[in-house]
Structure 1
């Protein structure tokens, strides 16, 4: 039960943190901001074409909307996966640095000059 509570809290933390990061990137990162703007323009054009062709191809507008939802889901999951891996990498790097420092510390103690 405790693990389940911890897992839920961690899941929520990851989701909240990814949202925060993407919100900050949307304001502070020029390249990301431009990509979001470009993607919005492309989607708007697709929606416009979908509305124009709706009578000839009624499935087109729905397909565009489904594609938007799918790409949004994919982007969100990709960001979440990358963030989780970043946390794992951080833990591994920290452990490797600690191991290195410990080995280096032992080496220094082995070669203490005798006075």
Structure 2
């Protein structure tokens, strides 16, 4: 039971932190802002075309909207995975560094 609660708390923390990082990147990182604008532009063009063709291809607009949702979900999931791996990496790097700093640690030539 405690393990389940801790896992849920970690999942929520990772989700919140990844969302926070992406929000900060949207403000502070020029490359990210540029990529975000380009994605929005392409999506806007797709939506415009889908609306123009809606009478001939009614499923096109729905398909574009489904793609947008799926792409956003994938992007968010990727951010969470990267953040989670970063936590794991920091733990192992810290352990390796601590082992290296021990007086009888590895010998470097």
Q: TM-score range by the shorter chain?
A: over 0.9
Whole-angstrom distance in 2 between the partners of 1:43 and 1:89: 35
What is the 5 A alignment of 1:43-58? 43-58=43-58
Residue 16 of structure 1 deviates from its aligned partner by 0.5
Q: Which runs of 5+ in 1 are unaligned?
A: 108-115
Tell me the CA shift for residue 100 of structure 1.
1.0
Q: Does residue 72 in structure 1 map to residue 44 in structure 2? A: no
Distance 1:89 1:96 in 2: 10
* 1:7-46 correspondence runs (5 A): 7-46=7-46
Stretches of structure 2 that go unaligned for 5 or more consecutive residues are: none
- How many angstroms apart in 1 are the aligned matches of 2:36 and 2:81? 20
Structure 2 counterpart of 1:106: 104
Distance 1:100 1:8 in 2: 34
Q: TM-score, normalised by structure 1?
A: 0.89
Distance 1:85 1:106 in 2: 30
- Cα distance in 1 between the residues matched to 2:27 and 2:101: 39
How many residues align? The count is: 105
Which digits, 9 at most, give the CA deviation of each residue in 1:7-66, with x for residues without a partner? 111011000000110000000000001111110011011000000000111111011001
- Cα shift at 1:106: 2.1
CA distance in 2 between counterparts of 1:81 and 1:34 reads 23
TM-score of the two chains, using structure 2 as the length reference: 0.93
